[in-house]
Chain A
Amino acid sequence: MPHGHHHHHHHDAEGGDGKLAAAVGVNMLLTVAQVIGGIVSGSLAMIADALHNFSDAASLVIAAAARRIARRPADDDMTFGYARAELVAALINLTTLIVIGLYLLYEAVFRLIEPEPVTGWLIIVIAAVALAVDLATAALTWAMSKDSVNIRAAFLHNLADAMGSLAVIVAGLLIMWFDWMWVDPVATLGIAGYILWMAFTEIGGVIRILMLGSPPDLAPDHVIATAEAVPGVKGMHHAHLWQLDEHRRMLEAHIVIAAGEWGEADAIKQAVKAEIEGVHGIGHVTLEMECAGHECPHARAVGH
């Protein structure tokens, strides 16, 4: 890296990879253990829960793989680099999370109508082991999830699982002690609601970036105003403001140089770039220069 100042995701990237690998490993180990246990004991419940943990491991694998791919530099194929791999991974994980949430909703409603006494010590023990693994995974990924929507999506998967395991334990005990059958569907309903709410909150930002939307906290008008305040600039139009990833912002625009200033065009452009980077933190700016006599007629300020 010639410049160390521009990115978060380089410091302790290795440590992060290690933690993610550990999280994947723990979930895979439990999956294998449950499959073997299920086959040996003939318990279908254990195999079903193995699938559960496998889906957790899969979402972690997607997140971790995307995180590694995202660090590759630009090449002839990906001229902006691979950073967006993390956004694609987040979209996939959030979409499957929404599907899981909808499925839980369906299950809960179904069981409210027709209660199914899923209980017994074996199921509670399986859930307790799964909960321990989920908590370990959460501890490993929590710190990283604050700064990355990709890791946050995998973390949410894991959180959904942890809450599910907890619900199985609590509901199982309450059914055995008090015969409260309604606890299980009601808890499932609550979890489904929470998961869907979180996933829909997160997915909006991801879709916005993938659809080349402008940064939510920066109106294009502000950037145009900043550029037009630079001496020698008559106007800015055809502005495209978008985000490469969660942290990097991009601008492409045409600027019109005031009449008589064309000789200074290079210096004016440099000043505009410095201003835009200084005020709005946009490091990647492409400006097409037009002299006042040849500007695009009736051009729109934003878009083209």
Chain B
Amino acid sequence: MSSETEFHIRGHGSHMPTSGRGMVISAWLTGVYFIIELGIGLWTGSIAVLSDAFHTFSAVGGILVAVGAARLSRRPADATFSFGWYRSEILGALVNGGFLAGMAFVVIYMAAMRLNAPIDLPTGPMLLAAAGGLVTEFISLGLIWKQSRSDMNVRGALWHIIQTFVGSLLIIVTALVIRFTGFLMIDPLLGMAFGFVLLWASWGILRDAARLLMEAAPSEIDLNSVIADLEALDGVHDAHHVHAWTLTSGRNVFSAHLRVGDGVDPQAVQRRAHRLLRRDHGFFFVTLQTETECLDESGAETIDITSGHQVGHV
């Protein structure tokens, strides 16, 4: 078991946003830009500018959450949090998604109110805000473009920046339409449209975070093939009461009961099963209960996916 234990300890290195300077610089840039854009949005009263500012905020929030969670998740396990603090990242994502959804509703509401009574907008400051946005977004894109090919977290940030880019384009369209045609409704209309984009983006974040917090099986793992592999091991009669879940993205946890034959050395079975689960299926942490007969766990049937087809399970 000693090599297993060492693997465990080494396995604790940070997998978080690798990020580095590129992410930090683009976070600062975007943060400063958010404050300027919010100011311009409140001053001019343009919904399009405001909604883009909110989106910028969520991009900054996403990066802050990633950076903060990277710090928190390095905390070691203790008596209260025996799995460590990895989950702080997921909670951060859920809160960020919630904020984004809230802001989407605010934007849509404001746009709906404004449709009743459009106001005249100074197009100069709006174009200024959009230009500032385009500059920030180009710099950020340049900083993290290379990294985004290899890192999933950075790819998320890239997607955010592209959305803000579209937001800046919308502001330019709005300002130009108002300047040349005087069609004031364009601002709430485009602002509302972007509000729905925000809503859609937040839904994706909320859904992924909720799945993880609900202990969903990792999507890249086919549980039935894992069970089949376990049952194919020498000395294993069956695998039951199987659970697979995810601590934080990339760290999968597995637990199961293995029924072994009489006279089979359970320690040897465990060693083989651990190797299979860790090496072939990539699980980060595994707990296996070996037994020669199945114990009845009263009350736990509702969370046993194998109880339906498990012989001897009452």
- Do A and B interact? yes
Listed in ascending order, the chain A residues whose CB lies under 8 Å from chain B are 1-3, 5-7, 44, 51, 73-82, 84-85, 87-88, 91-92, 95-96, 99, 207-208, 210-214, 219-221, 238-242, 244, 252-254, 265-266, 269-270, 273, 277, 283-291, 294-300, 302-304
B258 to chain A, nearest CB (A): 10
In the complex, A303 Cα to B5 Cα: how many Å?
12
A214-B83 contact in complex given A79-B223, A296-B5, C-beta closer than 8 Å: no
Query: Could you list 15 further interchain pairs (A-B, Cβ under 8 angstroms) beyond the known A99-B99, A239-B82?
Result: A6-B298, A79-B217, A79-B242, A79-B305, A214-B79, A220-B79, A238-B287, A240-B82, A283-B298, A286-B256, A286-B287, A286-B289, A290-B1, A295-B1, A302-B78
Residues of chain B within 8 A of A91, CB atoms compared: 91, 94-95, 213
Instruction: Across the A-B interface, give the 4 residue pairs with the lowest CB-CB distance, nearest first.
Output: A303-B77, A6-B299, A84-B214, A211-B87
Residues of chain B within 8 A of A303, CB atoms compared: 76-78, 82-84
Q: Can you name the residue of chain B whose Cβ is closest to the Cβ of A99?
A: B102
In the complex, A254 Cα to B171 Cα: how many Å?
60
B243 in the interface, Cβ–Cβ < 8 Å?
yes
The total of chain B residues at the interface (CB under 8 A) is 66
Residues of chain B within 8 A of A291, CB atoms compared: 267
B232 to chain A, nearest CB (A): 19
- Whether the Cβ atoms of A207 and B91 lie closer than 8 Å is yes
A212-B81 contact in complex given A81-B303, A294-B1, A294-B267, C-beta closer than 8 Å: yes
Q: Is the interface of A mostly helix, strand, loop or mixed?
A: mixed
Q: Is the interface of B mostly helix, strand, loop or mixed?
A: mixed
B220 in the interface, Cβ–Cβ < 8 Å?
no
Residues of chain B within 8 A of A242, CB atoms compared: 82-83
In the complex, A5 Cα to B298 Cα: how many Å?
9
- Whether the Cβ atoms of B91 and A79 lie closer than 8 Å is no
Q: Which of A79, A241, A299 neighbours the largest number of chain B CB atoms within 10 Å of its CB?
A: A79
When each residue 88-106 of chain B gets 1 if its CB lies under 8 Å from chain A and 0 otherwise, what string results?
Answer: 1011001100110010000
- Whether the Cβ atoms of B215 and A80 lie closer than 8 Å is yes
8 A Cβ contacts from B165-220 to A = 206, 210, 213-217
B74 to chain A, nearest CB (A): 14
- Whether the Cβ atoms of A77 and B288 lie closer than 8 Å is no
Residues of chain A within 8 A of B243, CB atoms compared: 79-80
In the complex, A207 Cα to B81 Cα: how many Å?
11
Residues of chain A within 8 A of B224, CB atoms compared: 76
In the complex, A171 Cα to B290 Cα: how many Å?
68
In the complex, A22 Cα to B295 Cα: how many Å?
44
In the complex, A293 Cα to B94 Cα: how many Å?
45
8 A Cβ contacts from B53-97 to A = 76-85, 87-88, 90-91, 94-95
Question: Quick one: which of A1, A85, A286 contacts B257, CB cutoff 8 A?
Answer: A286
A259 to chain B, nearest CB (A): 14
A84 to chain B, nearest CB (A): 4
In the complex, A237 Cα to B27 Cα: how many Å?
42
B44 in the interface, Cβ–Cβ < 8 Å?
no
Residues of chain B within 8 A of A211, CB atoms compared: 81, 85, 87-88, 91
Q: List 7 A-B contacts (CB under 8 A).
A: A73-B302, A75-B305, A92-B94, A92-B98, A99-B99, A239-B82, A244-B303
8 A Cβ contacts from B107-134 to A = 109, 113
Q: Can you name the residue of chain A whose Cβ is closest to the Cβ of B97?
A: A92
Q: Can you name the residue of chain A whose Cβ is closest to the Cβ of B287?
A: A252
- Whether the Cβ atoms of B94 and A79 lie closer than 8 Å is no
8 A Cβ contacts from B219-238 to A = 223-224
- Whether the Cβ atoms of A78 and B298 lie closer than 8 Å is no
Q: Can you name the residue of chain A whose Cβ is closest to the Cβ of B241?
A: A286
Residues of chain A within 8 A of B99, CB atoms compared: 95, 99
A80-B303 contact in complex given A88-B210, A212-B87, A286-B287, C-beta closer than 8 Å: yes
- Whether the Cβ atoms of B217 and A302 lie closer than 8 Å is no
B244 in the interface, Cβ–Cβ < 8 Å?
yes
Q: Can you name the residue of chain B whose Cβ is closest to the Cβ of A298?
A: B5
- Whether the Cβ atoms of A85 and B94 lie closer than 8 Å is no
A10 to chain B, nearest CB (A): 10
Residues of chain A within 8 A of B300, CB atoms compared: 283-284
Q: Which of B83, B84, B247 neighbours the largest number of chain A CB atoms within 10 Å of its CB?
A: B83
Residues of chain A within 8 A of B1, CB atoms compared: 290, 294-297
B167 to chain A, nearest CB (A): 22
B114 to chain A, nearest CB (A): 12
In the complex, A128 Cα to B2 Cα: how many Å?
70
- Whether the Cβ atoms of A95 and B98 lie closer than 8 Å is yes
- Whether the Cβ atoms of A3 and B298 lie closer than 8 Å is yes
A151 to chain B, nearest CB (A): 18
A228 to chain B, nearest CB (A): 16
Q: Can you name the residue of chain A whose Cβ is closest to the Cβ of B109?
A: A51
Residues of chain A within 8 A of B4, CB atoms compared: 296
In the complex, A44 Cα to B292 Cα: how many Å?
72
Residues of chain A within 8 A of B267, CB atoms compared: 290-291, 294
Question: Quick one: which of B5, B81, B245 contacts A79, CB cutoff 8 A?
Answer: B245
In the complex, A44 Cα to B255 Cα: how many Å?
57
A210-B91 contact in complex given A77-B217, A265-B266, C-beta closer than 8 Å: yes
Residues of chain B within 8 A of A7, CB atoms compared: 299
In the complex, A298 Cα to B1 Cα: how many Å?
11
Residues of chain A within 8 A of B302, CB atoms compared: 1, 73-74, 81
